Structure 1
Amino acid sequence: MPQKSRARRGSVSAIEIGFLALFHVVLYQPEIPPNTGNIIRLCANTGSSLHLIHPLGFDFDDKRLRRAGLDYREFADVRQHADFAVFLAEVAPPRQFAVSTRGAQRYDTVAYAAGDAFVFGPETRGLPQAMLDELPAEQRIRLPMCPGQRSLNLSNSVAVLLFEAWRQHGFSGGA
């Protein structure tokens, strides 16, 4: 039975609304709790599901994760999966996009569809090459950066991509 939430006035939890996400954000083996906390809050505010692929680099009850996510965890659809194959079997997204500095396609040139899954790698190493190789070039996307820079912060990258995808859908469900 779901725990009673400390919901803010006028808000409802993901459980109460029978959550059906427009997009799936997938964090493959995330390492830094505050990034994941920020992404929980982002997913709650955009109506997206968050999928955490084990092993995690932190305890899910880490105080830094709670602090970054504030009280948004109860408003977000957050699921944990033992590995990526389990995620694919349980969720079966119609399309998945690997987000990487090694991506072939710029993120803003893609037409996103409801149900798309955006897969992000661990903060210190990104997605394994084998995972990238599983997808066609047009589903390996990147965010442009100035030359000589290694990468963007994970939670910032998720926000940029998620808001572009949501914008393409007229910010469906947003106020």
Structure 2
Amino acid sequence: MRLAVYQPEIPGNLGALLRLSACLNVGVDIIEPCGFPFSDKALRRSAMDYIDAVDYQRHADWASFRANQPGRLVLMTTKGSESLFDVTFAPDDILLMGSESAGVPDEVHASADLRIRIPIRADCRSLNISVAAGIALSEALRQTRGFPHVDT
């Protein structure tokens, strides 16, 4: 299971996604360009002390991400045709989150193997990207029994 982020615009959201991924032991693909100055220093600052626990890859653009994409692409979108809770996930799925303001362009939307949504109230537009990723990853990891093993 991996999480991919398409052209993130808010450093704090990317940091939250990186921390989420570190804690859940899920790799992250960052598809550039980002909407903020992005460097190794900025990456360390946004992910704080979790960065060394994250398996992340930076991709210069959509084409370079697609060239290295091994699993089924599952787009999280408010325009999704299926509910998150009606989908059967696979361990090698890649959950793709769009940019905060624009989601993903039509080309990216069309290339997804699945387009799913999180059910929310009709009078609400969307969830924060890191909240949505947490909900989606939790359901996907629950289904695939992919949560990290914890010794007690």
TM-score (norm 2): 0.89
2:107 counterpart of 1:125: no
- 1:159 maps onto 2:120 in alignment: no
Partner of 2:10: 32
Question: Aligned pair in 2 of structure 1 residues 55, 172: CA closer, same or farther (>3 Å)?
Answer: same
For 1:156 and 1:66, locate their aligned partners in 2 and report how far apart those are by CA, in whole Å. Answer: 21
Distance 1:135 1:91, change over 3 A: closer
* Cα distance in 2 between the residues matched to 1:171 and 1:92: 18
CA distance in 1, matches of 2:126, 2:42: 22
Deviation at 1:134, TM superposition (A): 2.7
**Residues 38 and 135 of structure 1: CA distance in aligned 2, closer, same or farther (over 3 Å):** closer
Given the superposition, is the C-alpha separation of residues 97 and 121 from structure 1 closer, same or farther in structure 2, using an over 3 Å criterion?
same
| Count of aligned pairs between the two proteins | 150
RMSD: 1.9
Rounded Cα–Cα distance in structure 2 between residues aligned with 1:144 and 1:62: 36
The code of the aligned residue for 2:78 comes to T
**Structure 2 residues without counterparts, runs of 5 or longer:** none
TM-score of the pair, normalised by structure 1: 0.78
| Counterpart for residue 85 of structure 2 | 108
Deviant stretches of 4+, over 6 Å = none
| Structure of higher CA gyration radius | 1
The change in CA–CA distance for 1:64 and 1:53 in structure 2 (over 3 A counts) is: closer
Give 1:82's aligned amino acid.
Answer: A
- Bigger relative contact order, structure 1 or 2, given CA contacts below 8 A and separation 6+? 2
Q: Note the residue ranges of structure 1 that are not aligned, 5 or more in a row.
A: 1-22
Distance 1:170 1:86, change over 3 A: same
Other-structure match for 1:76: 54
- TM-aligned CA distance change 1:104 to 1:84, over 3 Å: same
Residue 63 (structure 1) shift: 7.6
Identity of aligned residues (%): 36
CA distance in 1, matches of 2:146, 2:82: 23
Relative to total residues, which structure has the larger helix share, 1 or 2? 2
